Amino acid sequence: MEHIGVRETVQFMGLTFNIETLEMTWLAMGITIVISCLAVRSLKVIPSGWQNFLEIIVEWLHKQIEGMMGKRGMFLAPFIVSLFLFLLTSNLLGLIPFFVSPTNDLNTTLGLALLVVCMVHFFGLYFKRGHYIAHFFQPIAPFVIINAIEEIAKPITLAFRLFGNILAGEILIIVLLHLTENPFWLSLPSVAWLGFSIFISCVHAVIFTMLSMAYLGNAVKE
Amino acid sequence: MIEINATMVAQVVNFLILAAILRALAYKPVAKMLKQRSDKIQDAINKADADKKAAEETLSQYKSQLADAQKRAQEIVDKAEITARQEREALVAETKKEIERLKQNAQVEIQNERNRAFEQMQKEIVTLSLAAAEKVVAKNLTSKENDKLVSDFIAGLNEDMFNGVK
């Protein structure tokens, strides 16, 4: 129980890295790539197996992107699909014994959230130029303070929501196993919580992706 | 527990690498396949529509041809009936004429035959009368009663025998 929250770090070129998070990230990346390879290994007009899985996700996200960002947002589809697949794999990875989710580290979630917010501002300026800056001062100039707080809150809420849920889920899995020695009362809540954690993992992958799309939609939509 | 360090940058880089790999490896082929499939379905729908239209056209063509054929068949039948009736009427008329002609011929023939028979009879009667007269004359040439008898006979012949014939 002591190891919860204690990060194993390595120093590289004077920088500190959480090595476990990086290892798990690479593992998650590997799994995502392997699943994608399985899905596209023999693409058929009539899909089967993993092709179905990937096509369902891609089609669903295409629909969401079109709804939230319009036709112009379609160029971000590969990014959104990758984000969703990576988050889904990462969140579920922590439920396997001896593995942890890369998303239980704030560095991962905040990194992704900042990436999304940077993209929002970049594409906002690229597509809307002056109008994008002007919209921070609406409806009247003093609102720039509230808008600024909102813009700062976006990556923070996005990052902490995912981080908190995944970390809490993993902590609770460990805590439940230490509550009692009785095998019945040990297994029942753990199994129930594990099942709920699978649901939570999927839901938070969806939430992070959807909110990213919504933020990007503001910048990209015509 | 909450400690921001260089891992954050590394994670962003990791994710960007993953996004680039997935874009090339998975997204593009899948998106292409989805496009291909929707194109194929669209083509199939278009083809089905075109086929249906063609089928309907062919059907209407067949129907009009069938109606045309029926009309022509009816015309041919009507024409045949009219021709048959005309021919029958002509035949009947001709037959009637023929019968009339035969009847007239027969009447003429009968008349001729009768006339001939009458002439024949007249001749025979005269011959018989002469023969009878000869006999009477030969027997009683001088008797006045006999002369009267012959005259009466002849007179009787003229009145009784030729009355029914004429």
pTM of the shown model: 0.71
| A144: closest CA of chain B, how far (Å) | 28
Task: Give domain status of residue B36, yes or no.
Answer: no
Are the beta carbons of B12 and A112 separated by less than 8 Å?
A: yes
Kindly state the tokens that stand for B11: 């994670």
Contact assessment for residue A102 and residue B11, using Cβ atoms and an 8 Å cutoff = yes
Q: Does B44 touch chain A (CB under 8 A)?
A: no
| B37: closest CA of chain A, how far (Å) | 6
> Residues of A with CB below 8 A from B4's CB?
106-107, 110
Q: Does B41 touch chain A (CB under 8 A)?
A: no
| B39: closest CA of chain A, how far (Å) | 11
Q: What percent of chain B has pLDDT over 90?
A: 55
Amino acid identity of residue B80, one-letter, is A
Q: Which of A39, A110, A167 lies at the smallest CB-CB distance from B26?
A: A39
Task: Give domain status of residue B17, yes or no.
Answer: no
Q: A124: helix, coil or strand?
A: helix
| B55: closest CA of chain A, how far (Å) | 28
pLDDT confidence of residue B89: 96
Domain hosting B109: range is 48-165
Q: Which of A29, A58, A167 lies at the smallest CB-CB distance from B18?
A: A29
Q: CA nearest B29 in A: which residue? A: A40
Task: Give domain status of residue B135, yes or no.
Answer: yes
Write the pLDDT tens digit of every residue in B106-131: 999 999 999 999 999 889 888 888 88
Domain ranges, ordered by start, for chain A: 9-220
When scoring A13, A31, A40 by the number of chain B Cβ atoms within 10 A, the one with the most, hence best to mutate, is: A40
Write the pLDDT tens digit of every residue in A30-79: 999 999 888 888 877 777 888 888 888 888 998 999 888 888 888 888 99
The alpha carbon dihedral of B106, B109, B115, B116 has a sign of: negative
Are the beta carbons of B7 and A5 separated by less than 8 Å?
A: no
pLDDT confidence of residue B1: 61
Query: What is the 3 state secondary structure string of B76-99?
Result: HHHHHHHHHHHHHHHHHHHHHHHH
Cis ω before A183 (30° cut-off from 0): no
Q: What percent of chain A has pLDDT over 90?
A: 34
Contact assessment for residue A55 and residue A181, using Cβ atoms and an 8 Å cutoff = no
Write the pLDDT tens digit of every residue in B65-112: 999 999 999 999 999 999 999 999 999 999 999 999 999 999 999 999
Tally the residues of chain A.
222
Query: For residues B156 and A94, which has the higher predicted lDDT (pLDDT)?
Result: A94
> Residues of B with CB below 8 A from A7's CB?
3
Q: Does A217 touch chain B (CB under 8 A)?
A: no
Torsion angles phi and psi, residue A202, rounded to 5: -65, -45
ipTM comes to 0.88
Q: Does B156 touch chain A (CB under 8 A)?
A: no
Confidence band of B161 (pLDDT split at 50, 70, 90): low
Q: Which of B7, B25, B37 lies at the smallest CB-CB distance from A37?
A: B25
Residues ≥6 apart with Cβ < 8 Å to A112? A83, A87, A158, A159, A208, B11, B12, B15
pLDDT confidence of residue B82: 96
| A contact residues 133-172, partner B, Cβ 8 Å cutoff | 167
Task: Give domain status of residue B31, yes or no.
Answer: no
Are the beta carbons of B22 and A81 separated by less than 8 Å?
A: yes
The answer on pLDDT for B164 being more than 60 is no
Kindly state the tokens that stand for A217: 């939609």
Q: Which of A7, A32, A37 lies at the smallest CB-CB distance from B3?
A: A7
Are the beta carbons of B7 and A79 separated by less than 8 Å?
A: no
Are the beta carbons of B11 and A16 separated by less than 8 Å?
A: no
- The rounded mean pLDDT for chain B is 87
| B16: closest CA of chain A, how far (Å) | 9
